[in-house]
Amino acid sequence: MAGKTAGIDWASEAHEVCITDEGRVAERFSAGHDERGIAALAARLLKAGVARVAIERPDGILVERLLAAGIEVLAIHPNQVKAARPRFAVAHGKSDRFDAFVLAELARTDSHRFRPLVPDRDETKALKALTRAREDLVSARVELANQLRAQLETFWPGALVFGAVDSAISLAFLKRYPSPEDARGLGERRMAVFLQRNAYSGRTPAAELVARMNAAPKGTAGPAEGEARRVVVLSLVAALGPIVEEIAGLTRQIRERLAAHPDAEIFRPLFRDPKTVICPATLIAEIGDARGRYPTEAALAADAGMSPVALESGKLRVATFRRACEKRLRLAVATLADSTRHWHPWAREVYRRARARGQDHPHAIRTLGRAWIRVLWRCWRDRVPYDPARHGNFRQFQAAGG
């Protein structure tokens, strides 16, 4: 019984499960993705004496229920499962049952190569849910804003007088003036009244905004097309408005959750503006609070996509871009690197040297991100806020006159 492992090929409706005992298939069965099926699956694994399970995803209800049952869970990347299939079959076949067997064998023979999943605390899970939901809404906002801008550039470019087409003042303007016909007769006085009524916070005077509007090229749409595009603009504005409001609401929630999180003080000193919320919250949410998840800073750098992948064969030795990583974590670290190069002396110098070596901007950002990972990991592991006085490379840089 001690040698039993299991592999689960996850699916949205039913999961294929394979239990192996020292390399031999002991049981195969399917489990529905509902309460009865998941409960029965966990109970059956425990009854069979399975202590370790491999699965191709790191989160979700099934994974959480397995962890809650006391079963060790290994999350194995699909690329690793794909690479392992030829070990167990000569033919290049693929099936859910076979993948479940491959996962079970990887859990038996290669468990030392994978880190067991460790659940985060409830506060961290809350931050992860909020930051990921906000990211999804931002993506939807950008897509709709691009569609709205494309419509306006086609027949009403004069409406693009504000900084961002999805800003509150711009949406209010388009709701009131969705077409050139609606804005006919709009002069400086009416514009000033509109700006005051909508609490415009910009510094551009009404006269200049009207001048920009009148200087924009005039569209040639006929009455029917113009009315159709007017309807499209109003539809996009109606869709964008609630999304913008919900993003603001989620940002407030993230700010409150971040302030109460015990790891917030570790990451806060890394940002020049103490009001910065999204990037530190994303770092906490994606790195997590289970210190055993990243035993070395190299492991964190790999997951964050800040270290290259080495390719060596004969005389060929190259380093390539790491694609298999946690995309959200990579974006958060890159955002940190890109912001600090503007104000942190050491970060500015690391970035400058990378560019001097011929690296383009994205590559130099990853180089700086890799350098920050060393600092981040130490602070995170030791639960100590970032302190420039304890940053060795920064002290050496200052001692050298930087």
| pLDDT tens for the chain, residues 1 to 402 | 447 999 999 998 999 999 999 889 999 999 999 999 999 999 999 999 999 999 999 889 999 999 999 999 999 989 899 999 988 877 667 899 999 999 999 999 999 989 899 889 999 999 999 999 999 999 999 999 999 999 999 999 999 999 899 999 999 999 999 999 999 989 999 999 999 999 999 889 999 999 999 999 998 999 999 999 999 999 999 999 999 999 999 999 999 999 999 999 999 999 999 889 999 999 999 999 999 889 999 999 999 999 988 777 777 777 788 888 899 999 999 999 999 999 999 999 999 999 999 999 999 999 999 999 999 999 999 999 999 888 877 777 777 765
Question: Coil, strand or helix: which one is 213?
Answer: helix
The C-alpha angle with vertex 26 and arms to 22 and 29, in degrees rounded to 5, equals: 135
62 and 175 in a single domain? The answer is: no
Specify the pLDDT at position 402.
59
Q: Take residue 207 and report the two structure tokens written for it.
A: 């006269």
CB atoms within 10 A of CB 400: 8
Q: What is the CATH number of the domain that holds 45?
A: 3.30.420.40
245 and 134 in a single domain? The answer is: yes
Domain membership of residue 372 (yes or no) is: yes
The continuous run of DSSP H or E covering 147 comes out as helix 122-155
133 and 243 in a single domain? The answer is: yes
Return the percent helix, strand and coil in the chain, to nearest 5.
60, 10, 30
Cα separation, 151 vs 232, in Å, equals 8
Domain membership of residue 119 (yes or no) is: no
What type of residue sits at position 297?
A: E
Domain membership of residue 118 (yes or no) is: no
Last residue of a domain, one of 226, 258, 290: 258
Query: Given the DSSP bridges, would you call strands 14-21 and 4-9 parallel, antiparallel or unpaired?
Result: antiparallel
Which of 97, 62, 102, 59 lies closest to 80, judged by CA?
A: 102
Domain membership of residue 334 (yes or no) is: yes
Domain membership of residue 60 (yes or no) is: yes
23 and 79 in a single domain? The answer is: yes
CB atoms within 10 A of CB 187: 11
Specify the pLDDT at position 1.
41
147 and 248 in a single domain? The answer is: yes
161 and 222 in a single domain? The answer is: yes
Domain membership of residue 394 (yes or no) is: yes
Specify the pLDDT at position 401.
64
Domain membership of residue 231 (yes or no) is: yes
Question: Coil, strand or helix: which one is 237?
Answer: helix
128 and 198 in a single domain? The answer is: yes
Q: How many helices (H) and strands (E) does the chain have?
A: 16, 7
Q: Give how many domains the chain has, as a whole number.
A: 3
Cα separation, 255 vs 284, in Å, equals 13
272 and 236 in a single domain? The answer is: no
202 and 287 in a single domain? The answer is: no
Which of 209, 155, 150, 149 lies closest to 182, judged by CA?
A: 155
Cα separation, 14 vs 38, in Å, equals 10
Q: Which residues pair with 311 in a beta bridge?
A: 318
Last residue of a domain, one of 84, 113, 142: 113
Domain membership of residue 26 (yes or no) is: yes
285 and 389 in a single domain? The answer is: yes
133 and 249 in a single domain? The answer is: yes
Last residue of a domain, one of 206, 233, 258: 258
Specify the pLDDT at position 40.
96
164 and 198 in a single domain? The answer is: yes
What type of residue sits at position 146?
A: N
Residue span of the structural domain in which 326 resides: 267-399
Which of 364, 82, 155, 133 lies closest to 249, judged by CA?
A: 133
